[in-house]
Amino acid sequence: MTHRDPPTNGPQKPIDWGACLAEHERWLRAVILARTGEPQALDEVWQEVSLAAIEQRSPLADREKAPAWLYRLAVIRSVRYRRQRARQRKQLARLAAESNGHASAADDPFEWLLCQERRELVRRALDKLTGRDAEILMLKYHERCSYRQIASLLGISESAVDARVFRARERLRRLLANYFSDQDV
C-alpha cells in the first residue's frame, strides 16, 4: 500500500442505489433527454435505468465508479429506446402505406375489380409453377424472409437462393405475360 491509497477498514458497505439514483437523477435525466430527443421518453427510460441499477447482477463495489456506471447505463437504455421507437415508426409507416393502398382500391369499384383480377391471375400463375418455385417465392415475398433466412430454412447457400428466386420470378413473369396476352384477344 502506498501513502496515496486510502486506508480500508474492512469490507465496504453496499451502495444505497435509491440514494445514489436520487443524487444523480437530474443530470442522468438530461443525458437521457439528449440521447432520445423525446421528452416523453424521460420517465420510461429513467425507470429502466433505475430498475437496472437496483437489479444489477454483479454489484458495483466502488462508490466512486457509480456515476460513470450509471452514465453508461443511461446511454445504453436511451439507445435501445431510440432503436425500438424507430422500429415502431417504420412498422407503422409500412402499415399505413398498406392500408392506404387498400383504401383507394376499396373506394373505386373499377380499381377493386382490376386488383381482384390481377390477384386471380397471379394465383393461377403460382398454381402452374412447380412446388419448389412457388415455395421460394412465397418465402421471399409473402413471408418476407431474407436470402439468409431462406438459405437457412432450405439448407442451401445464399447464392443458390438468389439463383432460385431469379429463375422462379422469370417463370412467373412468363406465365403472367401469357395470361395477359390471352386476355387481350
Q: Compute the mean pLDDT over every residue in the chain, rounded to the nearest whole number.
A: 83
Name the residue with cell 383504401: 103
Where is average pLDDT lowest: 2-16, 93-107, 116-130? 2-16
Choose which CATH entry (1.10.10.10, 1.20.120.160, 2.60.40.1180, 3.20.20.70) describes domain 108-184. 1.10.10.10
pLDDT at 185: 43
pLDDT at 169: 93
pLDDT range class, residue 46, cuts 50, 70, 90: very high
Whether 17 and 55 have beta carbons less than 8 Å apart is answered as: no
- Residue 1 pLDDT > 50, yes or no? no
Domain borders along the chain are 17-90, 108-184
- Residue 171 pLDDT > 50, yes or no? yes
Identity at 122, one-letter amino acid code? V
Helices of type H across the chain: 17-36, 41-54, 66-107, 109-128, 131-137, 147-154, 158-184
